[in-house]
């Protein structure tokens, strides 16, 4: 919607977070708070967004890059001052201005869209999003007259005893007619307990100018949680986590215990997949249908096909194709592509390697910088010796090869297709197609050596 400008206020210090990082960059389910706000705006089709930055502005710009425009508020003289700086810095041509705080990560695109519609339908000059809280302390209160019309917003610190008893609070999100906001913001003064220019004072100003003002009360007060400290940050994470998990459940994913399952916002999971406890799915991870993931599994930015089982394992930035089983206790490191119906068993580490379909790597094996073909069997204790102390070298194992237990493949080295390597070999030379390689010293038998041990030692 190009007639609506979104302004996200994000210049405050966030002192109560006690952090070197900007408050609004603290993460909720893997994404900085301000990114959640931006996403919700984008989902509500508001692309034109200005972020007001001040404290730690370089960090904020580094993160958001050119996805938004910026206005710098040099001194943080209050939320009203922040909005005034936007009008001072830019020509605002949009008809409506939506103002949100960067520290309200739980706001949804539905609430944003519904608010805009409500605002336009009711022809208000400003619509405030409000909600009722059991404990409204800290928030600005919505003061209404005897007929229920909004009269003003009073900040907690400036409220009298009667006003403190009001439990309808200001969310910090508003939809304004741009021209009304422009004229009202000029008139905001700083005659309050904090000596700040409050954006909330525009409400009374607009009413005095004869304009209509509305407050839209939302029933799910969790949406407007403002994160000012790390207790509220944890709270926001909990609510967001539940929201994400519920979305997956409604899409056909089974959770054995969703309270111990941490799934970041962008993860996609197919139907009939089951997630066991203590599972963490992060980044751009995509999981197919009919998989069993967990318990105690961490998957970061990976692509997992259908009918895959990943048990007690870690998979990072890799691809696991259909029907493959990983774990228990496997570690798949970045850059790996594991084919279909593969078995990656216990205490197996795969790093930056391609593994062909139907290959079995069942136990105690290290495969790094390797290309392993289809239908291969790597026995227990195979090691791709990929590092010579200076650089990483490549190991190639051709299709249908069999590598016995406890074999070292000293790379660079290639086993061609259909080769067989005897257990205990240390392979330093390439093995040609269809051949057997044995690289170990022959066994010696010394008959009756034990019986005659005393004699032998003399
Ligand atoms: C504000 C509202 C309050 C509302 C609450 C909801 C005002 C005066 N009060 O209070 O009515 O109930 O949010 O959470 O608006 N910021 C700037 N520049 C500044 C000051 C603040 O950009 O000079 C930004 C902050 O970074 C933050 C947002 O504005 O993202 C809100 O500021 P904050 O200090 O958290 O306001 P509250 O006291 O929570
Ligand atoms: Ca706040």
Q: What is the pLDDT of residues 313-364, one digit of tens each?
A: 999 999 999 999 999 999 999 999 999 999 999 999 999 999 999 999 999 9
Compute the distance between CA of residue 358 and CA of residue 260 in angstroms, rounded to an integer: 33
Closest CA relative to residue 406, chosen from 374, 378, 376, 435: 378
The band of 2, judged by pLDDT with boundaries at 50, 70 and 90, is: low
Taking the centre of ligand 1 as the mean of its atom positions, its distance from the CA of residue 257, in whole angstroms, is 37
The band of 122, judged by pLDDT with boundaries at 50, 70 and 90, is: very high
**Which residue from 101, 137, 156 has its CB within 8 A of the most atoms of ligand 1, so it is best to mutate?**
101
- How confident is the model over 138-156, as a mean pLDDT? 96
Ligand nearest to the CA of 86: 1
| Beta carbon of 81 within 6 Å of any ligand 1 atom | yes
Taking the centre of ligand 2 as the mean of its atom positions, its distance from the CA of residue 75, in whole angstroms, is 17
Look at the block and give the residue holding tokens 């391609």. Answer: 354
CA angle 99, 41, 104 (to 5 degrees): 60
State the pLDDT at residue 1: 61
| Beta carbon of 317 within 6 Å of any ligand 1 atom | no
Model pLDDT for residues 13-39, shown as the tens digit of each residue: 899 999 999 999 999 999 999 999 999
Taking the centre of ligand 1 as the mean of its atom positions, its distance from the CA of residue 53, in whole angstroms, is 13
Q: Indicate which residue of 36, 81, 248, 363 is catalytic.
A: 363
DSSP 8-class letter at 415: E
CA angle 150, 154, 158 (to 5 degrees): 160
| Beta carbon of 318 within 6 Å of any ligand 1 atom | no
Ligand nearest to the CA of 101: 1
Residue 177 has pLDDT above 80, yes or no: yes
CA angle 121, 122, 125 (to 5 degrees): 115
Ligand nearest to the CA of 74: 1
Compute the distance between CA of residue 368 and CA of residue 350 in angstroms, rounded to an integer: 6
| Beta carbon of 33 within 6 Å of any ligand 1 atom | no
Are 324 and 307 a contacting pair, CB within 8 Å? no
Closest CA relative to residue 425, chosen from 442, 413, 408: 408
Taking the centre of ligand 2 as the mean of its atom positions, its distance from the CA of residue 262, in whole angstroms, is 26
Taking the centre of ligand 2 as the mean of its atom positions, its distance from the CA of residue 174, in whole angstroms, is 14
Report the percent of the chain where pLDDT is more than 70. Answer: 100
| Beta carbon of 26 within 6 Å of any ligand 1 atom | no
Nearest CA to ligand 1 atom 37: 139
Model pLDDT for residues 46-61, shown as the tens digit of each residue: 999 999 999 999 999 9
For this structure, is 156 an active site residue? no
Compute the distance between CA of residue 239 and CA of residue 245 in angstroms, rounded to an integer: 10
Compute the distance between CA of residue 330 and CA of residue 309 in angstroms, rounded to an integer: 12
């Amino acid at each position: 919607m190009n007639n609506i400008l979104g302004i996200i206020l994000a210049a405050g210090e966030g002192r109560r977070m006690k952090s070197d990082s900007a408050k609004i960059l603290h993460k909720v389910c893997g994404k900085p708070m301000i990114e959640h706000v931006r996403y919700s705006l984008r989902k509500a089709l508001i692309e034109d967004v200005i972020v007001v930055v001040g404290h730690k502005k370089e960090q904020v710009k580094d993160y958001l890059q050119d996805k938004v425009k910026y206005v710098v508020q040099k001194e943080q003289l209050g939320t009203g001052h922040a909005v005034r700086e936007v009008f001072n810095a830019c020509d605002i041509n949009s008809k409506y201005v939506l103002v949100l705080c960067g520290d309200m990560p739980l706001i949804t695109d539905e609430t944003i869209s519904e608010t805009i519609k409500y605002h336009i339908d009711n022809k208000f000059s400003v619509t405030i999003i409000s909600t009722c809280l059991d404990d409204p302390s800290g928030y600005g209160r919505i003061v209404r007259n005897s007929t229920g019309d909004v009269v003003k917003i009073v900040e907690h610190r400036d409220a009298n005893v009667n006003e403190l008893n009001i439990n309808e609070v200001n969310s910090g999100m508003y939809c304004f007619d741009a021209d009304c906001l422009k004229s009202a913001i000029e008139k905001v003064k700083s005659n309050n307990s904090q000596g700040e220019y409050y954006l909330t004072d525009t409400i009374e100003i607009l009413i005095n100018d004869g304009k209509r003002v509305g407050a839209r009360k939302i029933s799910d007060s969790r949406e407007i949680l403002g994160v000012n400290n790390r207790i509220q940050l944890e709270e926001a994470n909990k609510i967001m986590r539940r929201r994400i998990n519920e979305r997956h459940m409604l899409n056909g994913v089974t959770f054995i215990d969703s309270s111990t399952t941490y799934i970041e916002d962008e993860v996609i999971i197919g139907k009939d997949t089951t997630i066991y406890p203590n599972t963490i799915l992060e980044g751009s991870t995509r999981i197919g249908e009919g998989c069993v993931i967990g318990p105690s599994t961490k998957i970061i930015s990976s692509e997992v096909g259908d009918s895959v089982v990943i048990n007690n394992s870690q998979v990072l930035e890799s691809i696991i194709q259909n029907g493959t089983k990983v774990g228990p206790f496997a570690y798949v490191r970045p850059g790996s592509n594991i084919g279909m119906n593969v078995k990656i068993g216990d205490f197996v580490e795969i790093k930056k390697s391609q593994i062909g379909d139907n290959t079995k790597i069942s136990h105690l094996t290290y495969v790094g910088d390797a290309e392993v073909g289809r239908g291969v069997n790597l026995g227990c204790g195979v090691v791709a010796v990929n590092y010579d102390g200076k650089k990483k070298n490549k190991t190639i194992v051709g299709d249908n090869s069999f590598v016995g237990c406890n074999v070292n493949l000293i790379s660079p080295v290639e086993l061609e297709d259909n080769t067989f390597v005897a257990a205990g070999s240390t392979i330093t030379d390439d093995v040609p197609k269809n051949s057997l390689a044995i690289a170990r010293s022959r066994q010696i038998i010394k008959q009756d050596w034990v019986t005659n041990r005393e004699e032998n030692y003399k």
